[in-house]
Structure 1
Amino acid sequence: MPNLATLLTDSAAASPGARAVVLDDSVLTYGALDDLSARVASLLTSRGVRAGDRVALILPNVPHMPVAYYGVLRTGGVVVPLNPLLSPRELGYHFQDAEVSLVLVWETVAGAARAAAAELGRDVPVVEITAAGTLPELRRVPPLPEVAERAGEDPAVLLYTSGTTGRPKGAVLTHANLTSNARLSAELFSLAPGDVMFGGLPFFHVFGQTVALNGALGAGATVTLLPRFDPARALEILVRDEVTVFAGVPSMYVALLRAAGGEPVRAPHLRAGVSGGSPLPVEVLERFEALFGAPVYEGYGLSETSPVVCFNQEDRGRRPGSIGTVVRGAQLRVLDDAGAEVPVGEIGELAVAGEYVMAGYWRNPEATAAAIQDGWFRTGDLARVDEDGFYWIVDRKKDMVLRGGYNVYPREIEEVLYQYPGIAEAAVVGVPDEAMGEEVAAVVAFRDVPEPERPARLDELDAFVRERLARYKHPRWYKVVEELPKGPTGKILKRSLDLEGAVRRS
């Protein structure tokens, strides 16, 4: 398996004049991206970076990001992509844990990176990348055209998980993991030269990095960037840049629908939406397809699986609400707590094996052994598979609510909440209760409902839910907010929900 950087160099050799990366009026052709990344590799080598060294990348989705990303890979170095919003303390943890040799950081957050590096007790160079100066400066550096040879099992990217429990862990993704999954993604979405991929998913996250960056550039397509997701800007880009494939998380689809205001959107080149990161409510999928005139294909994956392992594949049919069927190169099983496979239709924990599963957690054998058992990665997601081989995510194992001895799956309730016409966003969690052990709580954001009218609408919503769900699944607590808390990829953060002021229902 060649170096992951060959996804770029092969496309550049085939079509050097084709557009690779676009940000508004700024365009990098494949030839320019290839050349600039070779100059980054030369710069890093002159700074002492060698094969296997970890290099932190702290950049938003700007053209400099892929330039730096492929530059590190060309040296044989390991990319450690980090969120530009991290604090100096958080950056310091990642620098220390990954034992980074050098940091490449965007100008607006360079101060935080320097502060973090200064606390390490060893010399770690921090190289600031600027919007105006870096690319012209790079052109004065001689290129390093050769790409370092790497084995398939060698680390390419050290991707830190979100750390919902404890400190973030570094998933070691190899050149084979990421190259194979990028090629798979291009096949699943039928990407080819002439396609334009929406690049609003952050590239420091596995979904954006594999699907929107490596998958698109490996196929010779164009990526049009949006450094910070804004639905109005996204709508403008969809039309202006003739986007053919929109890749996003569910909250992006919700925001686009809100920005569209219920009116059909003229994006004639859009042929597909791709959703992942968390379950997409069927109601949102259907509304998007009606207004944007393009089908939405939902899939599934995690940081630890590179990520795509299941997808609604065109040749297998599409079932809204499911994550589709297992992709080539992956194996899926649904297991009980003892590790035995459950019968078709029954709920268990989804486990993944195959060529996309990470090598392990960085220097954390205990966590690796807990996560990968007998070659199967235990995802922590509850799922079922039907007789036709379609998988359905029921919920996160840790999110399941145990109410009075009954298992309650928040996603099922969220699907009903999203069917109510006035709902923009919704999340369901469990809260402690003396009588029942746990009770069901719903946090919702209404769409265009003035605050004085919200109590009445909440009464309507509660009645709407009660008509559609068994009594033990009814939310007993509701809270209305302007917007739900989200992580850097737009995923709703249930652990950050504040239920103070929630209203009790009988």
Structure 2
Amino acid sequence: MKPVYLPRVLADRFGDAPAVRDENTQMTFRELDAKVTAVACQFREHGVTSGDVIAVMLPNRSELVISIFAAWYLGAAATPINPSFTHDEAEHQIADADAALVVNAGHGSPSGGRPAISVDDLRTSADATDLEPVDIAGDDLALVIYTSGSTGRPKGVMLTHDNATAMSAMMVESMKMTADDHCLLVLPLFHVNALMVSLLAPLRVGAQLTILGGFDATRFFDTVEQRRPTYFSAVPTIFALLLSKAEGRRPDMSSLRFAVCGAAPATRELLAAAEEFLDAPILEGYGLTEATCASAVNPIDGPRKPGTVGPALPGQRIRIVDDALNDVPTGQTGEVLITGPTVMAGYLNRPEATAETIVDGWVRTGDVGRLDDDGYLTIVDRLKDMIIRGGENLYPKEIENAIGSLPGVLEVAVIGRPDDVMGEVPVAFVVPYPGADLTPEAVTDHCRRHLTRAKVPVHVEITPELPKNPVGKIDKPGLRASLAA
């Protein structure tokens, strides 16, 4: 099998139509295939073969896309790494995925002691242009996407080519994508949302993709006016920034057919204001990496219900269950369960965690929601303590582990504080050992050395004790209540 999103297949179908561009280059489908072939040959010379994993630690740029496709040409999988990760964070992912090769920015970038290729050294042409992509089985591993877990260390979500094929097809169907579409990619490509909604879905129908290296409101407006994209996918924070940074400017957004909002809850007020500003429908959806991105989306050509994340995507099913995993009546709340061809193959090297998350083929999301009579899903709350900062999932335990490694820390609790722009931000409460000279600045500096900037608490409070529940556990609900007060 050769998945329909492989550049060789796309080149045969769409030839010299525009495919991918970034700030430095642009390629037709045929040129994309040629560059992917060249890099695949280079990877093969480094010994990469079917079943291997290639780690790619780059900011949004065309070479990141080329490297992922090149891995697939050889039957290997790819694990994209957040380029803002510290060495510790990046090398954990490289080692956990057992990467056979790392593509990075060079100049001391993390490689975990594995063979590495600097992005500047990636080939752009090759003699062996007749390299044929290997035949891929549907259950072959395509991606290992890392998502933080409640135990602190990120877990590798294994997504197969069947998962990617199903998810990208669902996006195409639900959003009525055609070759006339043009996606403006603003989310980072180490997230499954960008990979599925903005990369694979448009390319598989012959649509074009423009990659922004990073989000900046002014540059976003300029790019829309110049490139005339028909859609983009973003998180609520980006929509809020677009509104706040417009500063009286009325950019020409008329090319936009729709926009997608996901990864974190958005208020009705924000979505209404953003729709008015863009003069295009915003499709709010819901999903998680363990189900290959999206499981519910408000339809583009049907009723969109503000406050909901829409009905299940075609081919997926959603249940609401009680603590015993029994279905609850329509309209009642419970845990959200998801099933369908997008359910992950499991967590890499984590069979126990996989068994806890996938039960009889259903993904336990850990989120609380309810379904209405029309099958529209409303997310009510989260069972887990996850903090969603600007669409990025942060788990308190990972931050707590980092703070706990600082000498003088006795206890620590991290919770999310509501924020008008970011949605939530992490706040830390730290109890020092008796006699320890511990300051908020020391805790913050320690976090900056060991955590990505988004995970660094915006506020650290040194306190003599933390509230506890009757069984002696830290009372995080009580902390949240006191913070709100």
CA deviations 1:350-405 (Å, max 9, x no partner) are 011110000111111100011111221100111110111100011211249xxxxx
- The alpha-carbon deviation at position 305 of structure 1 amounts to 0.7
Is residue 12 of structure 1 aligned with residue 24 of structure 2?
no
Following the alignment from structure 2 to structure 1, what is the Cα–Cα distance between the partners of residues 250 and 381? 32
Q: How does 1:93-492 map to 2 (within 5 A)?
A: 93-107=92-106, 110-114=107-111, 116-117=112-113, 124-130=114-120, 134=122, 137-163=123-149, 165-261=151-247, 263-399=249-385, 443-445=418-420
Letter in 1 for 2:304: R
Distance 1:255 1:491, change over 3 A: farther
Shift of 1:285: 0.6
Residue-by-residue CA offset, 1:76-119 (whole Å, 9 max, x unaligned): 00111111111221122112111111111134xx51324x32xx
Query: Residue 492 and residue 48 in structure 1: after superposition, are their counterparts in 2 closer, same or farther (change >3 A)?
Result: closer
Q: What is the rounded CA distance, in whole Å, between the counterparts of 2:105 and 2:253 in structure 1?
A: 32
Q: In structure 2, what is the Cα distance between the partners aligned to 1:156 and 1:441?
A: 33
Tell me the amino acid that sits aligned with residue 226 of structure 1: L
The corresponding residue for 1:90 is 89
What is the rounded CA distance, in whole Å, between the counterparts of 2:42 and 2:129 in structure 1?
8
1:73 aligns with 2:72: yes
| Counterpart in the other structure of 2:465 | none
* Residue matched to 2:429: none
Give the CA deviation at 1:203: 1.1
Instruction: Tell me how far 1:258 sits from its aligned partner.
Output: 1.1
User: Could you say if the C-alpha distance between residues 193 and 21 of structure 1 is closer, same or farther in structure 2, counting changes exceeding 3 Å?
Assistant: same
Pair 280,499 (structure 1): closer, same or farther in 2 beyond 3 Å: farther
Q: Is the 1:38–1:71 contact (alpha carbons within 8 Å) kept by the matching residues of 2?
A: yes
**Alpha carbons 1:42, 1:141 under 8 Å: kept:** no
Amino acid at match of 2:22: L
Distance 1:342 1:85 in 2: 42
The separation in 2 between residues aligned to 1:200 and 1:499, in whole angstroms, is 31
TM-score normalised to the size of structure 2? 0.80
Indicate the SS of the match to 1:73. helix
- Distance 1:329-1:270 versus aligned 2 partners, 3 A rule: same
CA distance in 2, matches of 1:200, 1:500: 35
Q: What's the offset of the Cα at 1:138?
A: 2.7
CA contact (8 A) 1:200 1:229 kept: yes
Mapped partners of 1:214, 1:248: distance in 2 = 16
Judge conservation of contact 1:383–1:392 (CA < 8 Å) in 2.
yes
C-alpha distance after superposition, 1:161-206 (max 9, x if no partner): 1345421111110010011111211222222212110111111110
Classify the secondary structure of the residue corresponding to 1:308. coil
| Residue of structure 1 equivalent to 2:472 | none
Amino acid at match of 2:143: V
Structure 1 residue identity aligned to 2:51? G
**Partner AA of 1:327 in structure 2:** L
Does structure 1 residue 498 correspond to structure 2 residue 484? no
Do the aligned partners of 1:9 and 1:34 also contact (CA within 8 Å) in 2? Answer: yes
CA displacement at 1:272 relative to structure 2:
0.4
Give the Cα separation in 2 of the matches to 1:372 and 1:191. 31
What is residue 405 of structure 2 aligned with on the other side? none
Q: Is the 8 A contact 2:281 2:300 kept in 1?
A: no
Question: Partners of 1:345 and 1:11 in 2: how far apart?
Answer: 44
Which whole-Å CA distance do the structure 2 matches of 1:128 and 1:164 have between them?
33
Distance verdict in 2 for CA 1:171–1:63, change over 3 Å: same
In structure 2, do the counterparts of structure 1 residues 5 and 46 end up closer, same or farther at CA, with 3 Å as the change threshold? farther
Q: Distance between the aligned counterparts of 1:91 and 1:279, measured in 2? A: 28
Is the contact between residue 55 and residue 99 of structure 2 (CA under 8 Å) also seen in structure 1?
yes
Cα gap change, 1:444 to 1:377, in 2 (>3 Å): closer
- For 2:384, what is the secondary structure of its paired residue? helix
List runs of 5+ in structure 1 lacking aligned partners.
Answer: 118-123, 401-409, 415-426, 430-437, 448-484
Task: State the one-letter code of the partner of 1:113.
Answer: P
Q: Deviations along 1:441-490, whole A, 9 cap, x unmatched?
A: 8544589xxxxxxxxxxxxxxxxxxxxxxxxxxxxxxxxxxxxx9xxxx9
1:237, distance to aligned residue in structure 2 (A): 1.1
Taking the aligned partners of 1:284 and 1:499, their CA distance within structure 2 comes to 30
Shift of 1:265: 3.2
Q: Following the alignment from structure 2 to structure 1, what is the Cα–Cα distance between the partners of residues 381 and 454?
A: 14
What residue in structure 2 maps to residue 404 of structure 1?
Answer: none
Q: Give the structure-1-normalised TM-score.
A: 0.77
Structure 2: which 5+ runs fail to align?
397-412, 423-446, 463-479
How much has 1:281 moved relative to structure 2? 1.4
C-alpha distance in 2, partners of 1:365/1:219?
36
**Match for 1:172: what amino acid?**
M
Q: Is 1:305–1:358's contact at 8 Å kept on the other side of the alignment? A: yes
- The DSSP-based 3-state class of the residue aligned with 1:325 is coil
| Corresponding pairs, count | 417
Matching residue's letter, 1:273: A
Identity of aligned residues (%): 33
Contact 2:236/2:265 (8 A) holds in 1? yes
| Structure 2 CA distance for partners of 1:140 and 1:50, relative to 1, 3 Å | closer
Check 1:330–1:291 CA distance in 2 against 1; reply closer, same or farther (3 A cut): same
Structure-1 separation of matches of 2:81 and 2:421: 33
